[in-house]
């Protein structure tokens, strides 16, 4: 299944049916009077969060959702049938935005949540509704209210407890594959990961969900590489795990690039609790480890952990640090600033 996290759709609620102008015509009844029924109500457009979906790919091939209009009223006081409503089924974590892509209409984060996107029009009154003591035979009826048509954006932000960030080839996918049930594509060239991956990570009889997003490069906020289009998937995370390639020539510069791009995307994301870890230490000797660890700690001004996703060295310690921060984030508000281990 292809991954799609942004879709533009057109929705339209149903219009109300028109009221009916009718008079009772029966044998032996000289003055039957009006009996025109009301029009039916138009169908609504709803969005519902459902289980079992993790992409918006369905909205790539079907982009127009129109509810049914109500039927007109009929004689003998019969009301027209209401139009059928329509439901857009979206995965957990879907944001519904207005046409400007900034105004948030709804944020569906739990299965079963529903939101009304467009209300159907009311049906028009038939001439029976206008009968009065001074107007015994009204010859007027109302038209039904028109439906509402609008364009909206659906943006999926994956529900994860922790997010991975780093340059391409920092070892994020390897780390996710080594610690979870996820099986992302792994290769020795940049941008192997083209879309986010989720994995359930287990440590000390505990589990949490980790998201791996495509690697960032310098200038990602300006559209270079894959850009920062996937950073929205870490906005809901309680903690970011930033992996730095220990075999890089300048680990401090690698950390700075990611930190700069996070700030350029959103200060809220940049100030999330962050754990910095130097990966691929299996390829370094003791002297290189010490030297690069000191450089990275000086640049990030925080304690840096070391690990090797290939050999497993230090992986459990990093996972324990991540889950501790997840627990801390659930207890404290998210806006307390950056975490310093």
Annotated binding residue at 192? Answer: yes
* Token couple for 81: 């049938």
Annotated binding residue at 181? Answer: no
Annotated binding residue at 166? Answer: yes
Burial zone of 115 (CB within 10 Å; 0-12 exposed, 13-18 middle, 19+ buried)? middle
Annotated binding residue at 173? Answer: yes
Specify whether the CB–CB gap between 38 and 125 falls below 8 A: yes
Annotated binding residue at 172? Answer: yes
In what helix (H) or strand (E) does residue 324 lie, and over which residues does it extend?
helix 315-331
Cα gap 157→149, rounded to integer Å: 26
Annotated binding residue at 212? Answer: yes
Annotated binding residue at 195? Answer: yes
Annotated binding residue at 57? Answer: no
Q: Which residue has the tokens 């000289």?
A: 30
Annotated binding residue at 279? Answer: yes
Q: Are strands 45-49 and 86-90 parallel, antiparallel or unpaired?
A: parallel
Annotated binding residue at 171? Answer: yes
Cα gap 231→234, rounded to integer Å: 6
Sorted by sequence, the CB contacts under 8 Å of residue 237 that are 6+ apart come out as: 160, 161, 162, 163, 211, 272
Annotated binding residue at 308? Answer: yes
Annotated binding residue at 119? Answer: no
Cα angle at 189 between 209 and 252, to 5 degrees?
Answer: 70
Annotated binding residue at 341? Answer: no
Give the residue numbers of the binding site for GTP.
166-173, 191-195, 212-215, 279-282, 308-310
Give the residue numbers of the binding site.
166-173, 191-195, 212-215, 279-282, 308-310
Give the residue numbers of the binding site for Mg(2+).
173, 193
């Amino acid at each position: 299944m292809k991954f799609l996290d942004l879709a533009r759709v057109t929705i339209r609620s149903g219009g109300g049916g028109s009221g009916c102008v009718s008079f009772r015509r029966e044998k032996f009844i000289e003055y039957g009077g009006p009996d025109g029924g009301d029009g039916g109500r138009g169908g609504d457009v709803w969005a519902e969060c459902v289980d079992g979906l993790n992409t918006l790919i369905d909205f790539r091939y079907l982009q127009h959702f129109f509810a049914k209009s109500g039927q007109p009223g009929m004689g003998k006081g019969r009301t027209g049938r209401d139009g059928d409503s329509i439901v857009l089924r979206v995965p957990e974590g879907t944001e519904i935005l207005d046409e400007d892509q900034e105004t948030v209409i709804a944020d569906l984060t739990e299965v079963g949540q529903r939101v009304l996107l467009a209300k159907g029009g009311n049906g028009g009154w038939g001439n029976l509704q206008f009968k009065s003591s001074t107007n015994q035979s009204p010859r007027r009826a109302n038209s039904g209210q028109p439906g509402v048509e609008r364009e909206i954006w659906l943006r999926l932000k994956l529900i994860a407890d922790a997010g991975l960030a780093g340059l391409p080839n920092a070892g994020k996918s390897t780390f996710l594959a080594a610690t979870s049930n996820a099986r992302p594509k792994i290769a020795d060239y940049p941008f192997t990961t083209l879309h986010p991956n989720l994995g359930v990570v287990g440590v000390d009889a505990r589990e949490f969900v980790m998201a791996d997003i495509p690697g960032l490069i310098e200038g990602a906020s300006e559209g270079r590489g894959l850009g920062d289009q996937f950073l929205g998937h870490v906005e809901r995370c309680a903690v970011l795990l930033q992996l730095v390639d220990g075999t890089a020539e300048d680990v401090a510069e690698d950390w700075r690039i990611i930190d700069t791009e996070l700030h350029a995307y959103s200060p809220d994301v940049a100030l999330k609790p962050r754990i910095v870890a130097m990966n691929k230490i299996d390829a370094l000797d003791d002297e290189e480890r010490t030297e690069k660890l000191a450089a990275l700690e000086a640049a990030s001004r925080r304690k840096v952990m070391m690990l090797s996703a290939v050999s497993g060295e230090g992986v459990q310690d990093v996972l324990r640090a991540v889950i501790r921060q997840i627990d801390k984030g659930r207890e404290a508000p998210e806006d307390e600033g950056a975490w310093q281990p």
